[in-house]
Amino acid sequence: MAGFFSKDDVTLDQIRKINRECEPPDEGLMTEMLWSDPQKDKGRAASKRGVGVAFGQDVTENFLKKNDLQLVIRSHEMKEEGYEFEHSGKLITVFSAPNYCDQMGNKGAFIRLDGKTLKPEPISFSEVPHPPVKAMQYANPMLGQLFGMM
């Protein structure tokens, strides 16, 4: 999940019913959930991505209250340290691709939840050099033959 929706009162049951075995449509809950990002201002605004919405802390708090949640951990947006706490700590963005596209210089991260308190603990990591192998070399051997990589 990346973000929230252009309307209030979306429930977890509605999210569970989204067909995920397809290409994302041009609009709707699936598309908004995939492409929406948080913003500092309240309310909603047009997304910098051209699809989805930018949403404020009030939208986050409304979603949490409506669905009896305390926190949302989202992804799909690069952060310099690999993660960022937003909206008074009620929204965490985590991004696991260090040095995104081999040019951004960002760290990657993952979130560990304490088993007793469920307190989120972000763990950042840096990129490592790519192994000296051709792309898809370890994929299905038939693919290697098709693409001349074996």
pLDDT in tens, 74-114: 998 999 999 999 999 999 999 999 999 889 999 999 999 99
Nearest alpha-carbon partner for 49 in 73, 33, 72: 33
Model pLDDT for residues 118-148, shown as the tens digit of each residue: 999 999 999 988 878 776 666 666 655 555 5
Quote the CA–CA distance of 123 and 92 in Å, as a whole number: 13
Burial degree of 119 (CB within 10 A; 0-12, 13-18, 19+): exposed
The answer on pLDDT for 26 being more than 60 is: yes
State residue 36 phi and psi, 5-degree precision.
-75, 145
